[in-house]
Amino acid sequence: KKSAAVYDQTSLFIGSVGTLALITKITVKLHPTPELITSGVVAFDTINDAVQAVQDISYMGIPIARLEFLDEKSVEAFNAYANLSLPVKPHLLFELHSSEISANEDIKSFKSACSEYGGIDFKWSTKEEERKELWALRHKGYYAILASAPGKRAIVTDICVPQTELGKAVSETQKDIVNSGIAGPILGHVGDGNFHAILLIDPENHRELKAAKSVAAKMAKLAIRLGGTCTGEHGIGMGKIDFMADQHGHGWNVMGNIKKSLDPYNIMNPGKIIKRN
């Protein structure tokens, strides 16, 4: 219910990953189905071109519901996994939620923004079956990438940066992955500046494991340096807890005090977000 007389406890507890309380009951609000849903894909020559298009699309107010990025390595894996023939270039996968009246204009604006940065092989559909096929493929992205490296395991990490820094973040991450000597396709939800690296390693190979951890740490530090966050979705857990002080400064102490007030015996998911001591 609406109230301006209390702290926003909903956001506090939802974002606490079980470290502050146990949630036993929730009430959700359902959004109505849009009048018209359009899904599609477009390719670019470079990552920077794709990212620049994303920024323009955001500024133009186009009703984007989903906007996903695939780098070349991800596209290669998708092609092999699903027997596709997408150009081996960076791609954007998108979904627009429009009214019947505005749909054509929305598609035209989206395509125009992509064309400004060399967008090619533009395909889209409003048919439910074709749209579901596209997103089913994206949802199988992890398995497609894993299948591209038989015998390997995946260490998956994510960061989130301001959109204006997205191109730099993805490019630097790609360089770090190449220099590490391991494979690491990149994909993500670039509409909000969030992307994932799927680092492929032999878990018995200590050099590869060390390299993957080093790449993940460099990504976290890069995100913080660019004004972003060391994780946009996956969460802190224990693996990224050492980056909390750099990202939040004194704010991390404030989080610790909240934790102590609500969970004085440290029984709620101990060791996550806030260190045990």
CATH of domain 36-142: 3.30.70.2190
Range 149-225 has CATH code 3.30.70.2740: yes
Q: Residue 190 carries which side chain, given as an amino acid letter?
A: V
**Minimal CA–CA distance to 73: which of 152, 150, 178, 223?**
178
**Could you tell me the residue ranges of all domains in the chain?**
36-142, 149-225
Q: Do domains 36-142 and 149-225 have the same CATH topology?
A: yes
Quote the pTM value. Answer: 0.91
Could you tell me the CA-to-CA distances from 251 to 20, 58, 61, 257 in Å, in that order? 16, 30, 33, 10
Tens of pLDDT along the chain (277 residues) come to 677 888 888 889 988 999 999 989 988 999 899 999 999 999 999 999 999 999 999 888 899 999 999 999 999 999 999 998 999 999 999 999 999 999 999 999 999 999 999 999 999 999 999 999 999 888 899 999 999 999 999 999 999 999 899 999 999 999 999 999 999 999 999 889 999 999 999 999 999 999 999 999 999 999 999 999 999 999 998 889 999 999 999 999 999 999 999 999 999 999 999 887 6
**Which residues are CB-neighbours of 190 under 8 A, at least 6 positions away?**
50, 51, 54, 67, 68, 69, 92, 163, 166
